[in-house]
Amino acid sequence: MAYEANWAPLSPYSTGVKGRCPRCGQGHLFNGFLTLRTKCEVCDLDYSFADPADGPAFFVICFACIPSVALGVWLEVVYQPPFWVHLLISLPFLLATCILPLRPLKGWLVASQYYYKAEQGKIDRGDHTPAPKPAPADAESGS
């Protein structure tokens, strides 16, 4: 197993968008379209740290779906075309802008998690002093 010190840090953008291993930049990150491999075939980096969750879908919804729907609404309001025109223009545009960015975004998020050593969040209570010890039972009676 190679140690982290033997690998120069690679940009999450350059490796993730291409779907390459975030450590070596040579191995593949994906098994299929969006399925992550279990480990890199070149440097044996275990991809179990990766959990992009709904991040790629969130970015696509915010930045791609809204303009796609706006195009369809604009087309309808301005030209009032028949339904088949929407099937030929709006639907392919919607699919292209919503499905194609998912893989590069997921790769970028996984590579960023590796690069920035992201891990599960922990609650910090803020007070790092030990809790006060309870008073002895006879001091509480006040007699």
Counts of helices then strands in the chain (DSSP H, E): 7, 0
pLDDT digits over 84-108, tens only? 999 999 999 988 999 999 999 999 9
d(CA 3, CA 42): 14
State the residue for tokens 């982290």. 4
pTM (predicted TM-score): 0.76
The 10s digit of each residue's pLDDT in 28-49 is 999 999 999 999 999 999 999 9
Q: How far apart are CA 44 and CA 50, in angstroms?
A: 14
In the 3-class helix/strand/coil scheme, how is 104-122 assigned residue by residue?
HHHHHHHHHHHHCCCCCCC
Fill in the amino acid letter for 18. K
